[in-house]
Structure 1
Amino acid sequence: MIIYKHFSFDAAHYLPNVAEGHKCRQMHGHTYHLTVYLEGQIQPHEGWVLDFTNVKDAVKPLVEQLDHALLNNIEGLENPTAELLAVWIWDRVKPVLPGLKKVELKETPTSGVIYEGY
C-alpha cells in the first residue's frame, strides 16, 4: 500500500546557471507543494502503514528550513531547480523514512517533478 502526506512552503530562488536574460535567473518565489509517498504493509494491530504523525515529524524540520528562505543560501542547493530540490529533499527524508517511495514537488499548480530515488 502507498500512503502520502502533503506539505507546502514558500521560498525564493534564482537559477544562476541559466542563460543571461532568462527570467529565472532573477530572484523570484514560489509556493511549493511537496507530497511524500511511502510504501509498506498495513500493520495488523494498528491498521495503518505508518502513523501520519511520524511522517509529519520526519518532514516538518525540512519544510521549516525551506519555508521563507532563499534556497540558494542552503547548503547543497546553490542551483535550486525543482529537480535538484526534490533530490535534496529525498536525500534527507529517505534515512528517516525508509519506506519512502517517491517525492512529488510542484513549483506551480501546473509544473513540478516526481523523484523516485534513482
Structure 2
Amino acid sequence: MIIYKTFQFDSAHYLPNTPQGHKCGGMHGHTYTLTVYISGKPEEHSGWIIDYTDLKNGIKPFLDILDHKLLNEISGLENPTTENLAVWLWQMIKPIFPDLVKIELKETPTSGVIYEG
C-alpha cells in the first residue's frame, strides 16, 4: 500500500545553463507542489502506515529551507531545474523516511517531474 501527502511552497530561481535569451535564464518564481509517497503495511494497532502529522513534521524543515527563497543560493541547487530540485529533495527526505518510494514535484499545474530514486 502507498500513502501520499501533498505540500506547496513558493520559490524563485533562474537557470544559468539555458541558451542566451531563454526566458528561464532570468529570475522568476513558481508555486511548487510536492507530493511524497510512502509505502508500507498498515500497523495493526493504529491501522496507519504513518501518521500524516509525522510525515508533515518530517517534511517541514526542508520546505522551510525552500519556501520564499532563491533556490540558486541553496547549497547543491546552483542549477535548480525541477529535476535537480527533485533529486535534492529525495536526498533530504529518504534518510528520514526510508519507505519513500517516489516524489512528484510540479513547478506549474501542468509540468513537473516524478522521481523514484
Where does residue 25 of structure 1 map in the other structure?
25
Q: How many residues align?
A: 117
Alignment of 1:22-61 (within 5 A): 22-61=22-61
Secondary structure at 1:62 match in 2:
helix
Post-superposition offset of 1:53? 1.1
Q: Percent identity?
A: 64
User: What are the ranges of 5 or more consecutive residues in structure 1 without an aligned counterpart?
Assistant: none
Q: Which runs of 4+ in 1 moved over 3 A?
A: none
1:59-101 deviation line (CA, Å, top 9, x unaligned): 0110111000000000000000000000000000000001101
Alignment of 1:1-118 (within 5 A): 1-117=1-117
* Distance (whole Å) between structure 1 residues aligned to residue 61 and residue 24 of structure 2: 27
Give the letter for the 1:83 counterpart. Answer: E
* Distance (whole Å) between structure 2 residues aligned to residue 103 and residue 86 of structure 1: 7
User: What are the ranges of 5 or more consecutive residues in structure 2 without an aligned counterpart?
Assistant: none
Post-superposition offset of 1:9? 0.4
Secondary structure at 2:37 match in 1:
strand
Post-superposition offset of 1:57? 1.1
| TM-score normalised to structure 1 length | 0.98
